[in-house]
Structure 1
Amino acid sequence: MHLRLLAPLTLAMVAAPAAAQLGLPVIDQTLGRVKGGLDSLVDRTVGTSLDAVQRLASVRTERLERLVRDHRDAIEFDADGQPARHGELLLEGADDASIARAVQAGFTLIAREDVPDLGFSVVRLGVPAGRSLARAQRELRDLLPEVTIAADQLYLESGAAAAGATGKPGMPAVAVSTRIGVIDGAPGSAAPVAAMRGFARGAPFPSDHGSAVVSLLRQAGGANIVAADVYGTDPAGGNAMAIAQALGWMVAQQARIVSISLVGPRNPVLERAIKAAQARGAVVVAAVGNDGPAAPPSFPASYPGVLAVTAVDGRDRALIEAGRALHLDYAAPGADMLAANAAGVWKPVRGTSFAAPLVAVRAAHAVGSAGARWQTELDREARDLGRRGPDPVFGRGLLCGLCRRTR
């Protein structure tokens, strides 16, 4: 079972029973993951003060430190202070001479990875024994200044299933035939897809998060879905290289819309893949994450041309824990609603993760009905919230406001 921190809001110093009473996630020391979830109590518990914003930022730091500490053999911090695959660096634009210089300096050539459907390749290097990833990354940048060098940084799920009563789904919306791709964990058998492929050790492996995303796509009308599992059972799953390869497969599968409910740092390999997929006609939809407004801008949501999505609750209020991106396009329901887990049981969910697939379905509908004018169609459909016109809280408005399933 892969170990993944599923929710952004947890207090390391709060005992589990007290946290449960407050409606906050509970740390399960055995599994090493955040269980439970956030319900509407978060609005009363966290509030909207500057202290709450700082608290969210602090929680993000604690969450990443816990992730690395619990999986030291698979994950470590890179030179930018971001969690990444242990002992491995990615090189773009490296010729044979550059690779030879790196090998002479003690690095090892692991593989040359082609992403044929996106038209580029990446060299994977192992760092010298006994050297930290951060130190090795800095040394290699000095050694090969002409080469783009990055760690294989990790991207985390941006939502979790909440504790609470189960329910049954409502009736699905009118089917949207435009193919939609999902890059996440694998959906369970109760959320069938047209095709699925794994891009991590042990993949495809059923995931509650991936199942929830696919179930929301299907309930909102997505009828032609392909899924890429970038987590599998690998503690270092969800890395930039896996997502890049998954994007290439999405292009090969002719997915016109790609929904990504994962967040992490800016990464040159992922950025290259996003640009290449967009150049081949894919529209990427991504969640802004749940680390609060004080967190760094989230990626891939912040890349140019990506539809960045935030979330609202059942009263159309912006989620206090919603993160930020360098731009914001739309809001969609992300709380006070149900989604299916890997076992097919419908449970409460909360997070921007669950808003992104709803926007993806509306984007697929717009592409299918309006062609090249799909974004104009989306803007026409969006319901303005907050101050008049586009704003940094709701973007250009709320989409799929009636897509929320509550029973």
Structure 2
Amino acid sequence: MVRHRTPARRGSCAWKTAVLLLALAVPPSAQAQLMPGLDLPTTSLPGLPSGAIQGRLPPPLSLPDAPGLANRVLQQARAVRLTALIRDNPAIIDVDDRGAPVVRGEVLAVSPSPEALVRLETGGFRVRSRTAFEGLGLDLVVLAIPAGLSAREAVRRVRAIDPEGEYDFNHIYSAAGAAEAPGAPASGDGGAAARVGLIDGGVDTRHPALRNVRIEQRGFAPGGVQPRAHGLAVASLLAGSQGRFQGSAPGASLYVADVYGSTPAGGSAAALAAALGWMAQSKVGVINVSLVGPPNLTLQAAVRAMVARGHLIVAAVGNDGPAAPPLYPAAYPGVIAVTAVDSRRRLLPEAGRPPRIDFAAPGADMAAPGADGGFVAVRGTSFAAPIVAGRLARNLPTPDPASAARATALLARDAQDLGAKGPDARFGKGLVGFELATRPATVAARGVLTHP
């Protein structure tokens, strides 16, 4: 049984409200696009000749801003979820200048100079931890801020003390998966030779779908590795296999970095950077990140270093709607940004539209392994990204810039062109792995998967 946590339920309800509002407000032709499979009944009135009341009724309701309404509600769904997280954990979660959640009492510094650290300590800041990422050439310092200082004021102070340094909040990143009520993929090859990384929640390795998968897990947040439904679903879509369900690279070796642990402040920028450092040290070629959040200097530096060394980072674009601002790490240069389509090859209306899309993959009308040993229905760009990552991992087991470029080109060559001819802003280089979407009814999916 999939358990629903309160913040997840609020976010899921808000998303469902968006769909309901669209169903009521959008004209029938638009409903057919936004609500696939919804057949509205028609009613005829016997005894009234055609045109009998023509001219007596007001013109049909027109809502030209229906897409704008959907975008606002989708963004509100995320805001409700994050607001609940902040409200329920005031002792450990603060906000940045835009209201995004951050770890309270901490500021991140990227490779600060010794002189800068002396000035910062004189200003009341204290080094809480220091981690050298040898594989990335970075030094991450977590600074504890003076008592009584908000994160916003602390960041302003450290930037004033060292204007040349790179300082930022310790932002918190959330999963890019949504929920859907439940309703034979083609066989993959080459998965057993692949190695792929996953930055997410922990994975329950006892699930039958992962029986033949070698998994190495490491925790990067307080509480260590804590299995989560989201991590299990994404891991299985990467490398799992069970009956009619098959992941993108079945049998691939998985390196799982749990960045959530047992704390509500899990998913921090510091944890993501540390996880990337481990992936670099382990020489994992492709890393899937189905998490989204705001831009962050620490995460940006880690991503830039990974890309320069020939790693491919595959990230979901998020589910805040096409009008939402770009979400990260998908929006960083060099990251493979993945959007999602439904069973009719249409973009999900909630999928983000960053400046660049690289590939599309199935992310709705599909099932994934669930925490009870069975399957659940899933929806969201979270579940499209691992399909792309698994395919790329088949041709990039270890990092190498030239091989990374070839792996991406091979995937683009085999992708199905959708939308405008050639690469475009909606589907990128094309649709990948459409045949891998396992329909919920074929595996008796029970329940839904919501935001962890």
TM-score scaled to structure 2, two decimals? 0.78
AA partner of residue 173 (structure 1) = G
Aligned AA for 1:275? R
Rg: which structure is higher? 2
> Aligned to 1:310, what secondary structure does the other structure show?
strand
Matched residue SS, 2:288:
strand
Partner Cα distance (2:377, 2:4) in 1? 22
Aligned match of 2:300? 271
2:176 paired residue among 142, 150, 158: 158
Moved more, 274-283 or 240-249: 274-283
2:248 corresponds in structure 1 to 220
Match of 1:67 in 2: 85
Return the letter of the residue paired with 2:279. M
Which position in structure 2 is the counterpart of 1:327? Answer: 356
TM-score (norm 1): 0.86
**Alignment partner for residue 144 of structure 1, among 141, 162, 166?**
162
Question: Equivalents in 2 of 1:301, 1:390: separation in Å?
Answer: 17
- Alpha-carbon deviation of 1:160? 3.7
Tell me, yes or no, if structure 1 residue 301 matches structure 2 residue 330.
yes
Shift of 1:394: 1.0
Aligned to 1:37: none
2:228 is matched with 207
C-alpha deviations, 1:346-401, integer Å up to 9, x for none?
11000000000000111123447x94522221111111112222222111110011
Equivalent in the alignment of 1:27: none
AA of the residue aligned to 1:323: G
- The residue type paired with residue 285 of structure 1 is V
* Secondary structure at the counterpart of residue 202 of structure 1: coil
Q: Give the direction of change, closer, same or farther, for the CA distance of 1:42–1:139 in structure 2 (3 Å limit).
A: farther
Who is 1:134 aligned against?
Answer: 152
- Contact 1:287–1:308 (8 Å) recurs in 2: yes
Structure 1: tracts of 5 or more residues without a match? 25-39
* 3-state SS in 2 of match to 1:118: coil
Call closer, same or farther: CA 1:374–1:328 in 2, change over 3 Å: same
Q: Are residues 1:174 and 2:189 paired?
A: yes
Using the alignment, how far apart are the partners of 1:20 and 1:95 within structure 2? Answer: 48
Unaligned runs of 5+ in 2: 23-33, 41-64, 240-246, 443-452
* 1:54-79 residue CA offsets vs partner (Å, 9 max, x unmatched): 22223333332222111111211023
1: CA distance between counterparts of 2:357 and 2:369? 27
Q: 1:193 to 1:86 in 2, by over 3 A?
A: farther
% of aligned pairs identical?
A: 42
The residue aligned with 2:140 is 122
SS of the aligned residue for 2:434 comes to coil
1:285 corresponds to: 314
Residue type matched to 1:332 in 2? A
The answer (yes or no) to whether the contact 2:10–2:80 under 8 Å persists in 1 is: no
SS of 2:435's partner is coil
2:178–2:319: 8 Å Cα contact kept in structure 1? no
- Is residue 53–residue 292 contact of structure 1 (8 Å, CA) maintained in 2? yes
Could you say what secondary structure the match of 1:117 adopts?
A: coil
Query: Within 1, Cα distance between the matches of 2:5 and 2:153?
Result: 26
Change (3 A) 1:350 1:55: same
- 1:198 touches 1:228 (CA, 8 Å); kept in 2? yes
